[in-house]
């Protein structure tokens, strides 16, 4: 069994990005600049945005964090996004989700200029991905693809089962795994909360991608011998063993499943760090496109 080490691979990618930034600067070009907007004070969102901003700095990117109160209106948030759209120094914009209930996520996402939408959530980028055009691919599925590629995992003709149909992970990874070429050319089954006989489907998976948000949902009986298992879940669960009082738990029962599979991502240290590395890669791409 091989652990798909997201910490190691993301560190390699960040070093590659840092070298590219230095090359840009040596040619007199601008530093890539990511703007992150955080509305409210959700603990998990604060942590994710904090990691994104810190990683940018480590790789020599500029970053701007805009913190807004939970009471921010939809109109005010739209105005903030428009300011970032119109600021030529900002290459990439992310608005951390989820947003407070009184703000429409769809409206905010559609306000971000597609060429600055480094999360790849805008309908233009989602559409481009679907029809195989170049655009921004959401960072989590892009990170999964990068892991598969860097570990040379065979995907052609394989049965890839995805659990979860979100716009951020399940839907885009299904498109990526079924597209022509490597990594891709897989036969994809997209499962969700209404799927019946889920175990009978997951047992046929050569590659199992789980993005459900239910801790330890996938047990050993659900997994085929020597499957590749990618765990996107990161739920905070209570524990007495850490200072913070919580730990991150994946959707896969790692202790059991790791004994049966050929490759597996740990939680934490699997897909999570890859997401951040790919967000930065998208930001550099947005910056390069403007040269
Ligand atoms: N919330 C959970 N994942 C993401 C992400 O990748 N980007 C943003 N903006 N919000 C998220």
Kindly report, residue by residue over 208-224, the tens digit of the pLDDT. 999 999 999 999 999 99
How many angstroms separate the alpha carbon of residue 91 from the centre of ligand 1? 18
Cβ of 36 less than 6 Å from ligand 1: no
Q: What is the pLDDT of residues 16-51, one digit of tens each?
A: 999 999 999 999 999 999 999 999 999 999 999 999
Cβ of 94 less than 6 Å from ligand 1: yes
Q: How far apart are CA 100 and CA 81, in angstroms?
A: 16
> Phi and psi (nearest 5°) for 66?
-110, 115
Given a contact cutoff of 8 angstroms between Cβ atoms, the answer to whether 93 and 85 are in contact is yes
Residues belonging to the active site: 52, 96, 119
**What secondary structure letter does DSSP report for 177?**
H
> Phi and psi (nearest 5°) for 173?
-70, -30
Of all atoms in ligand 1, which is nearest to the CA of residue 98? 1
Go through the chain and tell me how many residues it has: 291
Give the start-to-end residue ranges of the domains of the chain.
28-113, 139-272
CB contact set of 221 (below 8 Å; sequence gap of 6+): 199, 203
> Phi and psi (nearest 5°) for 183?
-75, 130
100 three-state secondary structure: coil
Give the Å distances, CA to CA, from 2 to 8, 153, 162, 271. Answer: 13, 11, 20, 15
Side-chain-side CA neighbours of residue 261 (13 Å): 34
DSSP string covering 44-97: HHHHHHHHHHHHHHHTT-EEEEEEE-TT--HHHHHHHHHHHHH-TT--EEEE-S
Q: Which long-range contacts (CB under 8 A, 24 or more apart) does 127-130 make?
A: 129/172, 129/175, 129/176, 130/175
CB burial readout 165-190, b (16+ within 10 A) else e? bbbbbbbbbbbbbbbeeebbbbebbb
How many angstroms separate the alpha carbon of residue 97 from the centre of ligand 1? 5
How many angstroms separate the alpha carbon of residue 168 from the centre of ligand 1? 7
The tokens of 51 are what?
């990691």
Multiple choice CATH, 139-272, 2.40.30.10, 3.40.50.720, 3.40.50.300, 3.80.30.20: 3.40.50.720
Q: What is the pLDDT of residues 233-246, one digit of tens each?
A: 999 999 999 999 99
Cβ of 5 less than 6 Å from ligand 1: no
**Residues 163-169: what's their mean pLDDT?**
98
Residue 28 is predicted with a pLDDT of: 97
CA dihedral 175, 177, 182, 187 (to 10 degrees): -110
Of all atoms in ligand 1, which is nearest to the CA of residue 95? 9
Q: How far apart are CA 250 and CA 17, in angstroms?
A: 28
Residue 290 is predicted with a pLDDT of: 87
pLDDT greater than 90 at residue 291:
no
CB contact set of 240 (below 8 Å; sequence gap of 6+): none
Cβ of 168 less than 6 Å from ligand 1: yes
Fold agreement between 28-113 and 139-272 = yes
Cβ of 119 less than 6 Å from ligand 1: yes
First to last CA, the chain: 44
Q: How far apart are CA 92 and CA 84, in angstroms?
A: 9
Residue 167 is predicted with a pLDDT of: 97
State in words which class domain 28-113 has: alpha beta
Given a contact cutoff of 8 angstroms between Cβ atoms, the answer to whether 21 and 285 are in contact is no
Which residue of 38, 77, 141, 168 sits with most ligand 1 atoms within 8 Å of its CB, as the best mutation to test the pocket? Answer: 168
Residue 86 is predicted with a pLDDT of: 98
Q: What is the pLDDT of residues 104-158, one digit of tens each?
A: 999 999 999 999 999 999 999 999 999 999 999 999 999 999 999 999 999 999 9
The whole-chain average pLDDT of the chain stands at 97
Question: In percent, how much of the chain has pLDDT > 70?
Answer: 100
**Residues 73-81: what's their mean pLDDT?**
98
Cβ of 97 less than 6 Å from ligand 1: yes
């Amino acid at each position: 069994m091989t652990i798909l080490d997201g910490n190691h691979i993301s560190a390699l990618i960040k070093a590659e990005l840092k070298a590219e930034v230095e090359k840009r600067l040596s040619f007199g070009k601008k530093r890539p600049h990511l703007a992150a907007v955080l509305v409210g004070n959700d603990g998990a969102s604060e942590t994710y945005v904090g990691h994104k901003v810190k990683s940018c700095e480590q790789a020599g990117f500029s970053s701007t964090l805009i913190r807004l109160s939970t009471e921010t209106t939809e109109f005010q948030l739209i105005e903030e996004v428009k300011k970032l759209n119109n600021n030529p120094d900002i290459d990439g914009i992310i608005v951390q989700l989820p947003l407070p209930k009184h703000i429409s996520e769809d409206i905010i996402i559609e306000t971000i200029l597609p060429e600055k939408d480094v999360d790849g959530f805008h309908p233009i980028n989602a559409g481009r991905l679907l029809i195989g055009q170049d655009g921004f691919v959401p960072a989590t599925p892009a990170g999964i693809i990068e892991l598969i590629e860097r570990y040379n995992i065979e995907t052609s003709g394989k049965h890839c089962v995805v659990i979860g149909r979100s716009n951020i992970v399940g839907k885009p990874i299904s498109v990526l795994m079924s597209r022509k070429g490597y990594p891709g050319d897989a036969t994809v089954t997209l499962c969700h909360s209404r799927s019946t006989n889920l175990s009978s489907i997951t047992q046929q998976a050569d590659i199992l991608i789980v993005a459900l948000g239910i801790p330890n949902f996938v047990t050993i009986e659900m997994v085929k011998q020597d499957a590749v298992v990618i765990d996107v879940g990161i739920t905070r669960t209570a524990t007495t063993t850490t200072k913070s009082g919580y730990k991150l738990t994946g959707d896969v029962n790692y202790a059991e499943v790791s004994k049966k599979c050929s490759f597996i991502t740990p939680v934490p240290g699997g897909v999570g760090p890859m997401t951040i590395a790919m967000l930065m890669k998208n930001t550099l791409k947005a910056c390069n496109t403007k040269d």
